[in-house]
């Protein structure tokens, strides 16, 4: 680590145990003479890291306070390559990981997300026009811009669920998880198909009314740091491309179940998001469709067939998830009514 840090213009407080901080997951926290730093280790593709850091630097230059500031080497490089991977340095905020159950944290995370999406508009990586491994990156970017990969992935998940259903039905269920799967498959599959139809109607493939940006992707609590003043996204390296509302729907689907799909909480989160990044008609419609897609049913099936979890535990998880549907339906019905009312209040024409 010391050899890496020698490449940076830093003054660290060594000797008292603060400068040579301990590694936590993929980073080290370092105490400097004037400020603190984060040294990050990255194990993925260098092209993705390059784009992530370009994006992070762009956000900071635009005034976004929701990301960490990138610190370049003495030679002006964004990152360094060493035997074990790639390393980059950022400033650091003294704080603690966010606790979702703490009042106000969930909406505050939505504010950070909205700011990142708002400032991401117009960002274009210099690698978008390059060729990587003989393939044009621009071609991939264009296909993602219009939503094909993520929409196709959802249809493929439903197909996988159908195949699993046919397999379990033919072999006959042998445990509680398999019985629950077969008994509830038709309802879940129909929900998924209806959700995809709504995504298409929202213009997921063609609409210019959807804001396409670099997405955070990783919205786990551990990827946010909290201080008394603000919440900050720690990593941008899990980025994706697509409609901004994909991130917002992911945030809601990850944490609304902890709130029993409380619609007032959902309203507060979406409202706080819209203060910085208002949703268009198509984005509102797409958001509701994304929230109704039964993604966790697919996740549990993946865990079961890959033997990541035992059938008893997964059966209990599946029971709880199926019970959530009633909460979810009430929440989405109220959200839909509120979103269209909000549109009329602003003097816009409500589409039939």
Residues 203 and 59 placed together within one structural domain of the fold: no
Residues 73 and 114 placed together within one structural domain of the fold: no
d(CA 106, CA 264) in angstroms, rounded, equals 12
User: What pLDDT is stored for residue 16 in this prediction?
Assistant: 46
**What are the strands, taking DSSP E only, across 72-158?**
80-82, 85-91, 96-97, 131-132, 135-136
Of 35, 217, 71, which Cα lies nearest the Cα of 144? Answer: 217
Note the maximum CA span of the chain: 69
Average pLDDT over residues 287-311: 94
Residues 184 and 238 placed together within one structural domain of the fold: yes
Among the ranges given (134-143, 175-184, 279-288, 298-307), the one the predictor scored with the smallest mean pLDDT: 134-143
User: Could you say which of 92, 126, 153 is where a domain stops?
Assistant: 92
- Binned at pLDDT 50, 70 and 90, residue 83 comes out as confident
Most trustworthy range by pLDDT among 142-151, 287-296, 342-351: 287-296
The total number of structural domains in the chain stands at 2
User: What pLDDT is stored for residue 177 in this prediction?
Assistant: 96
Lookup: tokens for 97: 């990981």
CATH number at residue 77: 3.30.200.20
User: What pLDDT is stored for residue 18 in this prediction?
Assistant: 44
Q: What is the pLDDT of residues 164-189, one digit of tens each?
A: 999 999 998 899 999 999 999 999 99
Q: What is the pLDDT of residues 107-139, one digit of tens each?
A: 999 999 999 999 999 898 887 765 444 444 444
Residues 318 and 213 placed together within one structural domain of the fold: yes
Residue with tokens 């959700």: 195
Range of the domain at 40: 2-92
d(CA 23, CA 1) in angstroms, rounded, equals 10
Concatenate the DSSP letters of all residues of 167-195 into one string.
HHHHH---SHHHHHHHHHHHHHHHHHHHH
Average pLDDT along the chain:
87
The answer to whether position 98 is within a domain reads no
User: Could you say which of 66, 92, 118 is where a domain stops?
Assistant: 92
The answer to whether position 97 is within a domain reads no
User: What pLDDT is stored for residue 211 in this prediction?
Assistant: 79
Residues 128 and 29 placed together within one structural domain of the fold: no
Residues 145 and 15 placed together within one structural domain of the fold: no
Q: What is the pLDDT of residues 185-217, one digit of tens each?
A: 999 999 999 999 999 888 765 556 677 899 999
d(CA 92, CA 69) in angstroms, rounded, equals 8
User: What pLDDT is stored for residue 13 in this prediction?
Assistant: 65
d(CA 338, CA 217) in angstroms, rounded, equals 27
The answer to whether position 351 is within a domain reads no
Residue with tokens 């619609």: 263
Residues 173 and 31 placed together within one structural domain of the fold: no
Residues 241 and 156 placed together within one structural domain of the fold: yes
Residues 60 and 126 placed together within one structural domain of the fold: no
- Binned at pLDDT 50, 70 and 90, residue 53 comes out as very high
Q: Which residues contact 10 (CB under 8 A, 6 or more apart)?
A: 30, 32, 37, 89
Indicate whether 106 pLDDT > 50.
yes
Average pLDDT over residues 100-106: 88
Residues 167 and 75 placed together within one structural domain of the fold: no
Of 140, 159, 154, 156, which Cα lies nearest the Cα of 240? Answer: 140
CB 286, CB 199: distance < 8 Å: yes
Q: Which residues contact 79 (CB under 8 A, 6 or more apart)?
A: 42, 46, 49, 50, 53, 86, 87, 88
Percent of the chain at pLDDT above 70? 86
Residues 291 and 197 placed together within one structural domain of the fold: yes
Average pLDDT over residues 225-251: 91
CATH number at residue 114: 3.90.1200.10
User: What pLDDT is stored for residue 10 in this prediction?
Assistant: 83
The answer to whether position 43 is within a domain reads yes
pTM of the model as a whole: 0.88
Phi, psi of 130 (to 5 degrees): -95, 175
Residues 123 and 232 placed together within one structural domain of the fold: yes
């Amino acid at each position: 680590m010391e050899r890496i840090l020698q490449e940076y213009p830093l003054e660290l407080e060594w000797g008292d145990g603060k400068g040579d901080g301990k590694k936590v997951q993929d980073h080290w926290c370092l105490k400097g003479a004037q400020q603190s730093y984060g040294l990050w280790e990255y194990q993925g593709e260098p092209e993705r890291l390059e784009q992530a850091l370009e994006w992070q630097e762009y956000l900071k230059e635009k005034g976004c306070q929701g990301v960490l500031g990138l610190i370049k080497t003495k030679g002006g490089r964004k990152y360094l390559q060493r035997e074990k991977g790639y390393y980059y340095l950022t400033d650091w905020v003294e704080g603690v990981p966010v606790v979702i159950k703490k009042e106000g944290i969930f909406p505050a995370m939505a504010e950070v997300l909205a700011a990142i999406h708002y400032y991401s508009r117009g960002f274009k990586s210099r690698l978008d026009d390059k060729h990587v491994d003989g393939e044009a990156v621009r071609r991939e970017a264009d296909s993602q811009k219009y939503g094909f990969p993520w929409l196709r992935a959802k249809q493929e998940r439903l197909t996988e669920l159908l195949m699993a259903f046919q397999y379990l039905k033919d072999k006959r269920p042998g445990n509680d998880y398999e019985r629950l799967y077969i008994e509830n498959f038709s309802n879940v599959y129909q929900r998924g198909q209806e959700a995809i139809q709504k995504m298409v109607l929202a213009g997921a493939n063609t609409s210019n009314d959807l804001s396409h940006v670099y997405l955070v992707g990783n919205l786990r609590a551990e990827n946010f740091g909290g201080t008394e003043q603000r919440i900050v996204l720690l990593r941008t390296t899990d980025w994706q491309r697509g409609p901004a509302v994909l991130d917002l729907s992911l945030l809601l689907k990850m944490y609304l179940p902890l709130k029993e799909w409380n619609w007032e909480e959902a309203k507060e989160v979406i409202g706080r998001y819209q203060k910085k990044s208002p949703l268009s008609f198509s984005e509102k419609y797409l958001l509701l469709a994304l929230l109704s897609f039964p993604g966790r049913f697919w996740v549990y099936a993946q865990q079961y067939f890959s033997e990541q979890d035992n059938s008893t535990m997964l059966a209990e998880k599946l029971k709880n998830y199926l019970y959530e549907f009633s909460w979810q339906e009430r929440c989405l019905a109220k959200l839909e009514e509120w979103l269209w009312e909000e549109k009329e209040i602003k003097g816009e024409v409500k589409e039939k």
